[in-house]
Amino acid sequence: MASLAVTLSAADPASLDVDVIVVASRAGDDGPELVAHPALSGLAEQFAAIGYTGKADELLRLPALEGSRASVAVIGMGAEVSPTAARLAAGSAVRQLAGTGAVALAFGLDDDASVLAAVEGASIAAYSFTNYRAKTSAKVKAPVQQLVVSTQASVDAEALESIRIVAEQISLVRDLTNRSGGDLYPQALADAAVEAAKGAPVEVEVWNEEKLLAEGCGGIMGIGQGSSRPPRLIKVSYSPAGAEHHVALVGKGITYDTGGYSLKPAEAMVSMQNDMGGAAVVLGVVLAAARLGLAVRMTAWLCVAENLVSSTAIRPNDILTIRGGTTVEVMNTDAEGRLVMADGMVLASEEQPDAIIDVATLTGAALVALGRRTVGVMGDTELVGSIVAAGEQTGEPHWHMPLPAELRAQLDSRFADMTNLKVGNRDGGMLVAAIFLREFVGKRADGSPIPWAHLDIAGAAVNEGPGYGYLAEGATGASVRTLLAAIEGRFTA
């Protein structure tokens, strides 16, 4: 995958060999205020006549500068000037200027944090997904290829390289999540993981159905038995020398979800190829960490299956035995993600990591509670707090949700150790799903629970609407940057 080529320049923006020079505008109390390199200050005089407001994502095209071949674009930054605003504004400009070869950012921001944030937003925005375009491929404008940041800051080259590495892994997550379930089935996802890991200091192990059966992974096997394309568990291990801490990541990888015999309505089934987004995220996090050389051991467990309807699919009231022996009565076959994840949680716990973080497009209830841009985070208070704080740092909203004790009763079963869902009760659906997963978090040697956090990315994993900020329509790669920041800050500091 091609990366955005980024350079920094202290030269006058008008002298740069680019196609478009981008400045920003803040929405001030008395109208738009220019946020730009001092050499471009005269552009503000044109705002009032045109009716430009400077609100976020608003892009205005102006004629070429005198003595330059480059035209000018003004991007709205919203009400404040900050690294977060710079990230969104730069990304929005690069996204909307697709089809342009070379772009210069001339925001006049010279602090390292703002420059790096702008580069990060632009790098994520320089993305498109055209795998299935044939006769209509010409309608999709190519992403911006080159970015010149006009600044006096002297940002470390290593910091720019880190942004490139992370942006590449986010593109991988988006590519995988956008792919059709017809061609990204469990073995195909395993093959993609092996291919993506080439050249990285990681080990990839793929468990086929025989291995899963032998290892007692009844959740993954149960959900996967309805498909002619059997399930897989993909283990990706990064073990740097001298690492003092170990973080396990567990990802939901339902490559297509019909709901099984608890069949989804037709409209709810659309976009269910995205239901492996959690597995894609944990893969991207571990590969990014490995390529960045983070000094923390990481193991990703991708729990992968198709949830289809057939004569071999599980039925409501079937009882599955999860690895470790817990029995689960399946009350709703559309609550399948937590069943495959349960095996992954037990496997992760057996290695006694310092923390377990699971990521899943788990519940529609997450969208009802938090909308489509905020990730719900549940679990150990301290670990959850570090993830939420990292989300504030990266500009990805994450919100701490509670796990009320009284909701555990919804998982009581007549015949098994527990159920996967109480049919007919929709109260706290996101929270109940997390409480189910908590049952499979193991204990440390001293008998205390392994610190655990659960991320429900059902809303944030895919942008269903028009583009905004640095994100186009489709998969977003949400939580990759947040988890990297949280893990680095908590386990390498």
One digit per residue, the tens of pLDDT, for the chain of length 493 reads 678 999 999 999 999 999 999 999 998 888 899 999 999 988 887 776 777 888 999 999 988 888 888 999 999 999 999 999 999 999 999 999 999 999 999 999 999 999 999 999 999 999 999 999 988 887 889 999 999 999 999 899 999 999 999 999 999 999 999 999 999 999 999 999 999 999 999 999 999 999 999 999 999 999 999 999 999 999 999 999 999 999 999 999 999 999 999 999 999 999 999 999 999 999 999 999 999 999 999 999 999 999 999 999 999 999 999 999 999 999 999 999 999 999 999 999 999 999 999 999 999 999 999 999 999 999 999 999 999 999 999 999 999 999 999 999 999 999 999 999 988 888 999 999 999 999 999 999 999 999 999 999 999 999 998 999 999 999 999 999 999 999 999 999 6
| pLDDT number for residue 263 | 97
Calculate the alpha carbon distances from 76 to 19, 23, 35 in Å: 19, 9, 9
Taking the C-alpha atoms of residue 436 and residue 440, their distance in angstroms, rounded to an integer, is 8
| pLDDT number for residue 47 | 74
Catalytic residue among 55, 164, 229, 264: 264
Taking the C-alpha atoms of residue 7 and residue 420, their distance in angstroms, rounded to an integer, is 52
Report the predicted TM-score, pTM, of the whole model to 2 decimal places: 0.98
Cβ(463)–Cβ(372) under 8 Å? yes
Question: How many C-beta neighbours within 10 Å does residue 316 have?
Answer: 16
Taking the C-alpha atoms of residue 435 and residue 428, their distance in angstroms, rounded to an integer, is 10
Taking the C-alpha atoms of residue 118 and residue 98, their distance in angstroms, rounded to an integer, is 17
CB contact set of 17 (below 8 Å; sequence gap of 6+) = 69, 102
Question: Which two tokens mark 154?
Answer: 């002297």
Q: Say if domain 5-126 classifies as CATH 3.40.220.10.
A: yes
Which backbone phi and psi does 440 adopt, to 5 degrees?
Answer: -110, 10
Q: Can you give the residue ranges of every domain in the chain?
A: 5-126, 168-491
Taking the C-alpha atoms of residue 267 and residue 105, their distance in angstroms, rounded to an integer, is 41
Catalytic residue among 95, 174, 179, 338: 338
| pLDDT number for residue 1 | 60
Cβ(14)–Cβ(65) under 8 Å? yes
* 264 noted as active-site residue: yes
* 338 noted as active-site residue: yes
Calculate the alpha carbon distances from 68 to 65, 73, 151, 300 in Å: 5, 14, 18, 50
pLDDT in tens, 205-260: 999 999 999 999 999 999 999 999 999 999 999 999 999 999 999 999 999 999 99
Taking the C-alpha atoms of residue 297 and residue 134, their distance in angstroms, rounded to an integer, is 42
Taking the C-alpha atoms of residue 253 and residue 144, their distance in angstroms, rounded to an integer, is 31
| pLDDT number for residue 137 | 81
Taking the C-alpha atoms of residue 37 and residue 44, their distance in angstroms, rounded to an integer, is 12
Nearest one of 225, 284, 226, 231 to 254, comparing CA atoms: 231
CATH superfamily of this structure's domain 168-491:
Zn peptidases (3.40.630.10)
pLDDT in tens, 168-210: 999 999 999 999 999 999 999 999 999 999 999 999 999 999 9
For 212, the enclosing helix (H) or strand (E) is: helix 209-214
